Amino acid sequence: RVSWTPSRGATEYRISRSATNNKSNAKYIDKVTVAKYNDDPSDTGLIPGVDYWYFVKAWNKSGLSDSSEGVSGWCALSAPTDVTASDGTSVEYVEVKWSEVVGAKTYHVYRLDVEALESEKVAIGSWQSETSYQDKTAVPNKTYRYYVRAAIDSQGTRASECSVFDDGCIAVPV
């Protein structure tokens, strides 16, 4: 969401966007009649997690103002979807898989004992680029809930919310 102080006498505002803080590279994207604008990635093709620069011009019947100074912003990454955790298919690990997230470069898996509170989930492993993870630290025949977050880098910058969970467990060795 981009917002600004209304200009006296303005009847509309014209918003431009650029990948850099350079007014001359900014492309017109929309016009509004209020001093705020929501740049929805599903409507405009934005890549979540990427910085964009916004510039605003005020307009009325007398003409168009100069462009504002740029302000940067980014939209959040979506939480990973299609999370699945294997249910006793291995005696060595629980395999967790998920779908790629647009704009994400890394993912982190979280585990929760099904008897615990959701706030007690813990990160396991580290941020990784793959869309699967083998949890070899799970206790056999104990069910866990697995969640995944997405981020734009290996430090977890601009991490998404946690995904919907899926339960999984390691099989009991025979």
Q: Please write the tens of the pLDDT for every residue from 113-149.
A: 988 898 899 999 999 999 999 999 999 989 999 999 9
Q: Which long-range contacts (CB under 8 A, 24 or more apart) does 63-69 make?
A: 64/14, 65/7, 65/10, 67/16, 67/23, 67/26, 68/4
The CB-side HSE value for 139 (13 A sphere, CA atoms) comes to: 6
pTM for the complete prediction? 0.83
Q: Which residues are paired to 57 by β-bridges?
A: 14
Q: Is residue 173 very low, low, confident or very high in pLDDT (cuts 50, 70, 90)?
A: confident
The Cα–Cα gap between 147 and 111 comes to: 6
For residue range 52-74, what is the model confidence (pLDDT) as tens digits? 999 999 999 999 999 999 999 99
Backbone angles phi, psi at 37, to 5 degrees: -150, 135
